[in-house]
Every structure is written in C-alpha cells, then in structure tokens.
Structure 1
Amino acid sequence: MRKLKLTIAYDGTNYYGFQRQKDKPSVQGTLENAISKITKEVIKTKGASRIDRGGHALGQVVCFETCSSIPCLNLKDGINSILPKDIFVRRVTEVDTSFNPRHALIRKYRYIVQNQKEKCLYLSRYSYFFPYELDISAMEDTSTVFIGTHNFSSFAMCEGRNPTREIKDISIVKNQGIFGESLIFFDISGASFLTNMIRSIVATLLKVGQGILKKENIIDIFNMRKRVSWKAPANGLFLLEVVY
C-alpha cells in the first residue's frame, strides 16, 4: 500500500466547493473519479483545505492510499488526461503512510480585488470588482489587529468548532494585471482558518479602506463576538500554498 500526495490547481467556479457532495459537482468528487479510473480502485481522498464554494486553488494538497504501482509521473499524466480543463494535477509524490494533509504548519491564501472604475471581464471569475477609492495605508495599519491568536467568532462560521485561530501574517499589495488592471492582493497566512473567515476579514478591511470603519471599531467587533454580516464574494479567493 502506498500513500500519494497530490498538489492540484483548480478553478472552482463550476463546483459546489472542494469537499465531496452527494448530488452536486465538487472538486474532490471529480478528482476521485479520475484517480479511480486510472488505478482501477475505489479511491477516497483527504484534502488540506475546505475552500469555500466558488473559491479557487493553485496549491491545494490531497492525499490517498493505493495498491497501484503506477509511477508518480505516469499517474499524474493519466489523471490529467481524464480531468476536466478546470482541474489540474501539478505534482504527485509518494509520502510516508503517516502523512495527513490536514496537519499543515501554514496555509497561504490570496484574495484579489479589482479596484478600478471599469470592470475587466476576463478577471471576473477570479477577482472581486470593487470600484471605490481605498486608503491602502489605513487597511495596512488595521490589518495588524487581526495578526496573532484571537477568537474569530465575529468573522467566521464556527459550526461548533473552536473559534480561536492564529494569523501569522497579512500583506496588502497594489499590483497590475497583464493589461494594466489595478489589483489589490490581500495575502493572509495561518495554520488554519474557519469557514468564511478570510472573506469576512477582507470585507472588513475594505470598509476600513472606504472610511466606513476605523481600527478601533475592529477591536470593538472582536470584543463583542457577534458575527459581522459582511463577507467578500468567494470568486476572489485562492489557496496559494500549503506548507508542512
């Protein structure tokens, strides 16, 4: 029996999230079907992150056990030949049988905001169009409130889970698309995140950038532990990398 680790990229637009669904298309279900056809086994995978429905990945990590002796490179090529064009296996490596993709040290996410007056249609699937002026310095200053270990119940769906999480780093960078589009990258890293947590943090920082909220308001929201009503749409969210 071998345990294999896959690093995959996907466009989540046409799926009901990463996690396997009974009657709806999911990235995990589609991937398992492709692997099962190649290995001629019933394959069940485990993923590193349950990315929100409509979100995307460049570095999702998935693992599974198999009795197949197919070499990793051949397996990668075979799976990709079956997968639809919006899912791609980037790497396949053999790992120790004790490896668990959920036990990550760091998960790195990027949220992309399209910050200009006119919408760029080719970016619509992969960014949040937000045509309002933003104070980047105010957002950067306020982002420090989120860094560290906190109770994030005000900014996430806890679903019975422990709301305490640690954010290692947040960076906010203005960038340009390939045709000169004005983009803002929110890069957020931590060991683990709650459902909708990153999207709620980004939406909160955008309100700060507009001048609707101030740094002290965010501290008050943390202390109230009452969930905010706002979150940025899922299409701007990417899982960049999982570090072990």
Structure 2
Amino acid sequence: MHVAMADEAVRIGPAASQQSYLRGDTILKVAAETGSDAVHPGYGFLSENVEFANLCQEKGVIFVGPPSTAIRDMGIKSTSKMIMEAANVPVIHGYHGEDQSLDTLKAEADKIGFPVMIKAVRGGGGKGMRIAMTAGEFEAQLESAKREAMKSFGDEVMLLEKFVVDPRHVGVQGLLYSGLFLYHLASYESGGEALVSCGMLESLLKVIQLASSELEHITFVTRYVFHGLIYKYYTES
C-alpha cells in the first residue's frame, strides 16, 4: 500500500532482502537520483546498521533513526547499562565490568545473590543467555552461555544480573526530532497494551500523562531513559 500511495516508487532490487533492502549503496543511489533528503531504513534491515547510518551522514542524507553512536552503544548491553546509570536511570542490579575472570564473576554472582542471569553483552534473541539458580551450577551455565555467544556473535564477554522471577515486560516507543523535541508515543507489555503519552522539550521534561495510575512508574522511568539518551547523543556532539 505504501508503494501505491507514494508520489514516486523506485525498484531497488529483487525480493530477497540481501539484494534490495540491505543494499545501502543502492538505496543511497536512488535517494540521490530522486532528490530525497532523508532515508527511513524500515524496521530491521538497515535500521540498526552503524555503517549505513554513517554512510548516510557522509552523503549528506538524513538517516531517520538514532545517531550511529547510539546504535553502536545500545547494541552492547554493558555499555548501554553504564550510559543509563550515568543518567541516574534505575537498572537491574548486577555486574558489567571488564574483569571477566572466573573468580571475579563468581564473586560478583555471590554479591548479587542467586538466582542470577548470565547474559552475553552482544547480540540478542536469547542467545548467550543462561540462568544459574544456585552457586553450584554457576560455572557450568557460564561456560554454556560463553560458548553459545562466541558461536553466535564472536564475543564471549558476559554481564550478570539478578534474575527477576515473573517479570513484567514493558516496551516504550518515542519519536525524537533533532534532539529538541521528543514525543513518547506508547507503552505496551506482554498480555495487553496500555497507552502512555508524554512530551519532552529540551531539559524541561514536561510530562503529559494519559495513563492509569498503575502505569505512572512506567512514565517516570521512561522520562529518565529518554533524558539519558538525549543528554548522551544529542548534547555531546
């Protein structure tokens, strides 16, 4: 439907994504030929591709998405947690330090308290992730997570977190324009959907809530997450 509604449509390649939607060079060539000043990379595909975001910047084309530095840092869980901590965003208690020795990881797991989540700092999809319910099974679960992470992502660096039993998985969506205005579009969680809307202008962080009281904490945390991202990626450049 989006193709039919467009003022102009250009074929960028065959249906296979490797020959079309993942061909950043072809997309930017079409952008130049059509006089487009911005590229929306879609969902998946090149939307989290650091190289493509950089290439857009080099070509003077607006990449509709976060800065390449944000894509890079948010793709590494340990880095993203440190950024959120620096912005005073509450995160799950754990360890994401550079010392990856077995003795250190064991000691940190004991500090956190079992059960402990062992998680690869890179990748996603549940790969390189294990739960150690007790200290006795920690080493075996750690080695299993590291093997899978190395096979899947080429990196075996791990972080540790307190395992949250029966968690509520909440997602938020936001739209940021040039670091000056952000609109928090919606929040959703497994098993249902709830709308939360707030606007944030510069550092004023004015919140307009359209949510039930039980979701006020979501807006509160979201405000700090977005503030941390704005501060890190839109005020330091």
- Shorter-chain TM-score range: under 0.3
Which of the pair is proportionally richer in strand? 1
Q: What TM-score results when the alignment is normalised by the length of structure 1?
A: 0.25
Which of the pair has more CA radius of gyration? 2
Q: What TM-score results when the alignment is normalised by the length of structure 2?
A: 0.25
Greater RCO (CA < 8 Å, at least 6 residues apart): 1
Which of the pair is proportionally richer in helix? 2
